[in-house]
A and B are shown apart, each in its own frame.
Chain A
């Protein structure tokens, strides 16, 4: 089944840039996360509008001018699942 991913309370995230890397404070959880540029871009894309894995990957590869391939998509999928366990994103069923 395809899921649509959305970000939880992006406005409650504190994002600071330190020389090109990003530290993110998740207020609700009280946790600090260390993200690279792609990691943060995933969150900001999903904040603009919830997306499926495929459309998220398309947008990312356009932005970073990376060739879209299955390896990249698997990596993004793993990142999303990790974000989900951390409570940064959640999934909704496509037709919901």
Chain B
């Protein structure tokens, strides 16, 4: 089979020219690795910001105090009403006894507190309500305000507003940075590969003169591009992996209040995407670059 021989010669030629053009190959691998590393790091920063924003969002809750005149049954029945809240994630009923106990815990002496209050629990029954997203809090509050059984609603209005704009800004910034880096990476990697191929345009021309088919010319360049892409991506992946572990360990040890994304799955996914991206960039990039010189 001709194609078998082409692959065999193509592989040999690819290895040979990788070795003989090692300077250029090194520069290209370095460019690919650097760009993929920056891209991967940007993606991880973006994912972490998003994660931190979500974490903070998760902690936002609405506390609803019920009218004191409500019976326990009426108070419990309220829960079904809250099911109408859009984006409802969690409803927790806190009976007044629990609330008092919690408060007592804080003062570390329940009996004296109850005694001090003359045996009467002044606290109302309450609900702690969480919604999926910060944007849904306003809607939930509007709904709750219409309920006559509710005496008071407490939620961090300013915090919610700030969170919402922060989340939005972080989201947009992350997408913009990742897209921007992707364009820069594509451009740089592509021009480096184009330059590498251009220095060998004479080789392509001569091959075509002796009757080489386009396939024969393309195979070694394809394999070289693939190889450069893989090596570049693996380098970027290794640095990213160990770098991320190091920074993560540092943050957890020294700045434990900063929420970080400690997920191997997501890190591996980013690494896998970089590997796939590197391979595709190398192989497709070199093939596009070769195409320009095939028309002899």
Partners in one complex: no
Q: Which residues of B contact A (CB under 8 A)?
A: none
Q: Which residues of A contact B (CB under 8 A)?
A: none
